[in-house]
Amino acid sequence: MINWVKYKVSLKHLVLILIIALTGLLLTEITIVKEPTVYYQLQYHASKTMSEAIDAIRTEKETRQIPINIQLDPNRTGLIGEEYTPITTTLGNLSAKRTSTNPDFAALMVKYFKQVNLTSGDVIAVGSSGSFPALLLATLSACEAVDIIPITIYAIGASEYGANIPNFTFIDMLDTLNQKNIVNYSLAAVSMGGNQDQAEGMFFPESKEIIEQIAKEAGTIFIDNGSLEANIQKRLEIYQERAAGKPIKLFVNIGGASANFGNSTNSISFPNGLVRKVSEIPTSADRGLIFEFLEAGVPVIHLLNIRDLALKNGIPIDPIPLPQIGQSEVFFQYNYRKWIAVITILGIAGIIYFLKKKILKHNKNKIKNN
């Protein structure tokens, strides 16, 4: 290491380097340009579709005379359920559920799709519990905007304030959206969800029977193979069959359904958002589809910690009312003036080069004098 004091480097040169560095940093920060993302129009389309879907779901809920509790759902989205119902599986965070109803999350899904280079006609697998119907709606809205083909398997059980109203689950919501031609997707299969994907340990003794009945009336494949491991494998088979030879480019997990999230300790530490790899993939048969797909080289979008997702992507937390579409940070990117950084680096490099020559000259003279 060079001893600046030993070689009598002028303090003014060190101060000059510091001034140039700080000036470059300051100029870089104050000249940042905020611009719409290159896929802003797709994000806007997805968010608008989700907004229209929310309106349709609200109207349908009112038509069915299912009351919207404005204490729980002040924005009257129709996507917030009750605290305890016969199909409630676990505790839930009301603020997180309300935050997820923001159509900005459809824009976030478009952002993720673009980050993994999805294009029109690509196939993705979607696994969702009933805990965050808004995020499933956001995913399907983004698929519609980007022209992606989602193969969706839905676990009926839902945590508090999710799609936990027995006569108005996401199955009913999706039927409404298809009838109104807002999104045109169907469910590839359903399962009971809950503990072990078998509706075990529910709050009410009649819960499993009610969920089974909902599943049988869903008009699609009912996954009920007797164990979590068997249900996971059945899901993989359905995804492959429905893909019809096309590669599955992405897996989206929404909520904490056992079959998707898994029962291993690794599941608890699984990162939020877009995940391309993890430090360790468990080998247990109940590890969940998030690990099955990662091991196969398929990226995963994991949607569970809603506050974290919102904070990282500039989406308001629990806003009342819902914000106007296209305004939050998820629709924008920040570009730096690269020429400032180049000039700063060149300036510092020039001073260092001058000092280096000075030091070499000092050493040369010292050798001569000795």
Give the pTM.
0.84
pLDDT at 54 over 70: yes
> How sure is the predictor about 153, in pLDDT bands with cuts at 50, 70 and 90?
very high
- Compute CA 241 distance to the chain's CA centroid, rounded to the nearest angstrom: 26
User: Hey, how many other C-beta atoms are within 10 angstroms of the C-beta on 157?
Assistant: 32
Average pLDDT over residues 341-361: 69
pLDDT of residue 4: 46
- For the chain, give the percent of residues with pLDDT over 70: 86
pLDDT of residue 1: 45
- Structure confidence by residue, pLDDT tens digits, 73-126: 999 999 999 999 999 999 999 999 999 999 999 999 999 999 999 999 999 999
- For the chain, give the percent of residues with pLDDT over 90: 76
Strands (E), the chain: 33-36, 123-128, 149-155, 187-191, 221-223, 248-254, 273-275, 300-303, 332-335
Do residues 126 and 69 lie in contact, with contact meaning Cβ atoms separated by under 8 Å?
A: no
- Compute CA 219 distance to the chain's CA centroid, rounded to the nearest angstrom: 29
Say which residue, 73 or 29, is predicted with more confidence: 73
The residue whose two tokens read 């038509």 is 63
Q: Please tell me the total number of residues recorded for the chain in this structure.
A: 370
Cα torsion for 65, 70, 75, 77, to the nearest 10°? -30
* SS3 label, residue 189: strand
Taken in order 17, 23, 29, 35, the sign of the CA dihedral is negative
